[in-house]
Amino acid sequence: MKKTVAFHTLGCKVNQAESESMKRLFREHGYEVVDFTAPADVIVINTCTVTHLADRKSRQAIRQARRRNPRAVVAVVGCYAQTAPEKVEAISGVDVLVGTRKRRDIVDLVEEAAREKRLINAVGDIRGATEFEQLPLDFSSRTRAFLKIQEGCNQYCTYCIIPYARGPIRSLSPEGVREAVELYVQRGYKEVVLTGIHLGLYGADLPGEINLARLLERIVTVPGLERLRLSSLEPLEVTDELLQVMAQRPQICPHLHIPLQSGSDHILKKMNRPYTAAEFSQRVERAWELIPDLGLSTDVIVGFPGERPEDFSATYDLVRSLGFSRLHVFPYSPRRGTPAAAFKEQVSPQIKEERVHSLVALGRELALAFHRRYLGRTLPVLVEHDRDRDTGLLAGYTGNYIRVLLAGADTLMGEIVPVTIRAAGEDGCEGILAVGE
């Protein structure tokens, strides 16, 4: 009988994709992947540490796995295992610990632990990591492929735990990126999303003159590639060179996600963000100039320690003036192990809530205004494989990341189709198939 493995994954899209890659490794070694609730020979918990809650959920998942499967080998992987291995080891019943490196060896480590009946701790010091660990490609997403091309971050924003969990920046070679994109295209994917922990610094660790803009030039020529999308970029990495490539290459989606975090220079400095509000605005204005249909989304942290009413107003006004198409608002939550957790002048929960509320309302207003700009226009939409849950309509995304609903047959799923926009709301648009009009 085949050996079985079950996964439980916490946290972000990068973690989800890495779990899918590890599942492939197990399958290649003859394992069958079963549901987390089913009995299994091996259980892998891919943990997250972005907040205290994520730590707690990671610990709960480990305990739950052990309780349900007393005889299974339990392997704990990922960011929480990397930053707090001693806490994970202290949970009874953990057999294997792997951080954010050596995930390629997960099957060997699990089998070694099973054979030798001892705990194997493979978490190394991430600070010295220099190699990009390439895991097998993830084919789990049906509509678009997510390709991680960069790992780690050297920025150390004062609120963020990620550099401690993921280590310094490392990049996949340009040849490796091109090869992976070719494989995805051969598998029929219409859209490839390039991801990374600090994507804009792609190539900074590689020899030669490679950077993200030059990498894009090298891969847009992959035959059959229809759409290439970039995930989050830091403002100073949205260079003219990058914007020019985006403007000239129709395959690159006109969409940028640039975290603003605050519109107050005083707060940006306390956050250790390396730009001013004016520099952020200049980058965005240049982006609009070169790419008029750009969809621009951002993240804002509200209630960072020391955020005065005037700092919040500066953020509010900047967000309004820049007209983002999508806004993600996060109340600041202190993360143990980061400098900001020890800052004085923590903002009260009530003030945070009020500020979150007003920015969320502004975000809705801006999204609606952005969507209305497209009424009557026809846009290419990549149709998802899942229908909209509420309406049962097909759903998809434009290049500039507007969610569009439309009536149509399942055969359109996975296709890029022209859609004429007929209605606009806060969450997206509705339209009709333009074929035959």
The answer to whether 322 and 296 are in contact (CB under 8 A) is: yes
SS (H, E, C) the chain: CCCEEEEEECCCHHHHHHHHHHHHHHHHCCCEEECCCCCCCEEEEEECCCCHHHHHHHHHHHHHHHHHCCCCEEEEEEHHHHHCHHHHHCCCCCCEECCCCCHHHHHHHHHHHHHHCCCEECCCCHHHCCCCCCCCCCCCCCCEEEEEEEECCCCCCCCCCHHHHHCCCEECCHHHHHHHHHHHHHCCCCEEEEEECCHHHCCCCCCCCCCHHHHHHHHCCCCCCCEEEECCCCHHHCCHHHHHHHHHCCCECCEEECCCECCCHHHHHHCCCCCCHHHHHHHHHHHHHHCCCCEEEEEEEECCCCCCHHHHHHHHHHHHHHCCCEEEEEECCCCCCCHHHHCCCCCCHHHHHHHHHHHHHHHHHHHHHHHHCCCCCEEEEEECCCCCCCCCCEEEEECCCCEEEECCCHHHCCCEEEEEEEEECCCCEEEEECCCC
**Binding residue for ligand SF4, selected from 52, 90, 142, 156, defined by CB under 6 A:** 156
Q: Does 153 bind ligand SF4 (CB under 6 A)?
A: yes
Number of residues that bind ligand SF4 (CB under 6 A): 10
* Least distance between ligand SF4 and beta carbon 261 (Å): 8
For ligand SF4, give the closer residue by CB, 162 or 294: 162
**Binding residue for ligand SF4, selected from 110, 160, 256, 417, defined by CB under 6 A:** 160
* Least distance between ligand SF4 and beta carbon 275 (Å): 11
For ligand SF4, give the closer residue by CB, 93 or 168: 168
* Least distance between ligand SF4 and beta carbon 168 (Å): 11
**Binding residue for ligand SF4, selected from 106, 110, 162, 300, defined by CB under 6 A:** 162
For ligand SF4, give the closer residue by CB, 265 or 388: 265
For ligand SF4, give the closer residue by CB, 162 or 268: 162
Q: Does 270 bind ligand SF4 (CB under 6 A)?
A: no
Distance in angstroms (rounded) separating the CA atoms of residues 307 and 267: 7
Distance in angstroms (rounded) separating the CA atoms of residues 26 and 62: 19
Distance in angstroms (rounded) separating the CA atoms of residues 417 and 419: 6
Segment contacting ligand SF4 by CB under 6 A, of 72-80, 149-157, 185-193, 428-436: 149-157
* Least distance between ligand SF4 and beta carbon 152 (Å): 9
**Binding residue for ligand SF4, selected from 78, 163, 235, 431, defined by CB under 6 A:** 163
For ligand SF4, give the closer residue by CB, 147 or 271: 271
Phi, psi dihedral angles at 429 (to 5 degrees): -130, 165
Amino acid identity for residue 142 in this structure: R
* Least distance between ligand SF4 and beta carbon 273 (Å): 7
The answer to whether 242 and 292 are in contact (CB under 8 A) is: no
Segment contacting ligand SF4 by CB under 6 A, of 86-94, 159-167, 309-317, 408-416: 159-167
Q: Which two tokens stand for residue 167?
A: 């280590």
Q: Does 235 bind ligand SF4 (CB under 6 A)?
A: no
For ligand SF4, give the closer residue by CB, 276 or 420: 276
Distance in angstroms (rounded) separating the CA atoms of residues 105 and 375: 52
* Least distance between ligand SF4 and beta carbon 197 (Å): 6
Segment contacting ligand SF4 by CB under 6 A, of 85-93, 128-136, 152-160, 312-320: 152-160
Name the one residue in this structure whose structure tokens are 């895991």. 135
For ligand SF4, give the closer residue by CB, 47 or 150: 150
Q: Does 429 bind ligand SF4 (CB under 6 A)?
A: no
Site for ligand SF4 in 183-202 (CB under 6 A): 197-198
* Least distance between ligand SF4 and beta carbon 34 (Å): 33
Q: Does 174 bind ligand SF4 (CB under 6 A)?
A: no
Segment contacting ligand SF4 by CB under 6 A, of 156-164, 313-321, 357-365, 389-397: 156-164
For ligand SF4, give the closer residue by CB, 277 or 424: 277
**Binding residue for ligand SF4, selected from 45, 62, 73, 157, defined by CB under 6 A:** 157
* Least distance between ligand SF4 and beta carbon 200 (Å): 9
Q: Does 155 bind ligand SF4 (CB under 6 A)?
A: yes
Q: Which residues bind ligand SF4 (CB under 6 A)?
A: 153, 155-157, 160, 162-163, 197-198, 234
